[in-house]
Amino acid sequence: MRNLLIIVIFQIGWFACVFGGANTVALPIALSVALTLLACNLWLKREGLVRELRVVAAVTAMGFVIETINLTTGVFKLTDSATYPWLCPVWFLLLWALFATLLRGPFGWLSGRYWLCALLGAIFAAPNYFAGARLGAVTFNENLIFSFGMLALIWALAMPFMIWLARK
């Protein structure tokens, strides 16, 4: 039941982050909601909080690098008028922090199944970015095969690493 609640909280947080990314005026409210939801997920994992915080910090840092690379290489662009359009924005970092809370709970069953992690990452990550684009947070490169291929490759590599990291 706890894992289901963590997933629901993540999904609401995902929407808040993407909505904030798409609507600059609503960004402060969306970030406040997402931060509150992150705190809720961390509270649900309070028994191993220090370990959870380490995973969240590491995955968020990894997300900063990945999304900055995605923005720099043109996999997608931010739709807001960011001062540094090639740099991963705060709402994206918060999204990665929320995602990190899934790794030791709902995604814990993937531990040690690294090929499956790679496959699931390659298949299921890109559609989330496309959903974000449909909501107006990002726009994609005209070459969708390039964008989808890069996202699939990055997540095929990142997902097993994140699961391994959460296990340590």
Where exactly are the structural domains of the chain? 2-167
Closest CA to 94 of 6, 17, 9, 159: 17
* Per-residue model confidence as pLDDT tens digits over 75-132: 998 887 666 777 888 899 999 999 999 999 999 999 999 999 999 999 999 999 999 9
In 10 A of CB 107, how many CB atoms?
20
